[in-house]
Amino acid sequence: KAGVTQTPRYLIKTRGQQVTLSCSPISGHRSVSWYQQTPGQGLQFLFEYFSETQRNKGNFPGRFSGRQFSNSRSEMNVSTLELGDSALYLCASSTRTGESEQYFGPGTRLTVT
């Protein structure tokens, strides 16, 4: 069974631009969660989607948004990029919401200059 895939793997953007990241979950997994990882901050929960509905949201500004499609693939969008948005963005899939065992993709490394 193929693992979680994320595209692109690396991205360089300038301040003020917007970016869209994509995540394809493991086949059969309907829940997709997104996390931001920065040095010293661990993994910060962004949001979780299940069956095309946002089920949970973390404490991030409205510039961060996401969506999920009928095939469970998910995208997250960050608008008006700031330098502080530079991070590794990880998505994880699982069979249900709030699952403790999640399967992570390799992440998208976003650098904002």
Instruction: Enumerate binding residues for another protein (CB under 8 A).
Output: 4, 33, 35, 40-45, 48, 55-56, 58, 90, 92, 97-107
Nearer to another protein among residue 3 and residue 61 (C-beta): 3
Question: What is the closest distance, in whole angstroms, from the C-beta atom of residue 82 to another protein in the complex?
Answer: 22
Judge contact between 16 and 80, C-beta under 8 A: yes
Question: What is the closest distance, in whole angstroms, from the C-beta atom of residue 61 to another protein in the complex?
Answer: 18
The amino acid present at 4, given as its one-letter code, is V
CA dist 84 and 65 (Å) reads: 16
Nearer to another protein among residue 79 and residue 103 (C-beta): 103
CA dist 81 and 113 (Å) reads: 9
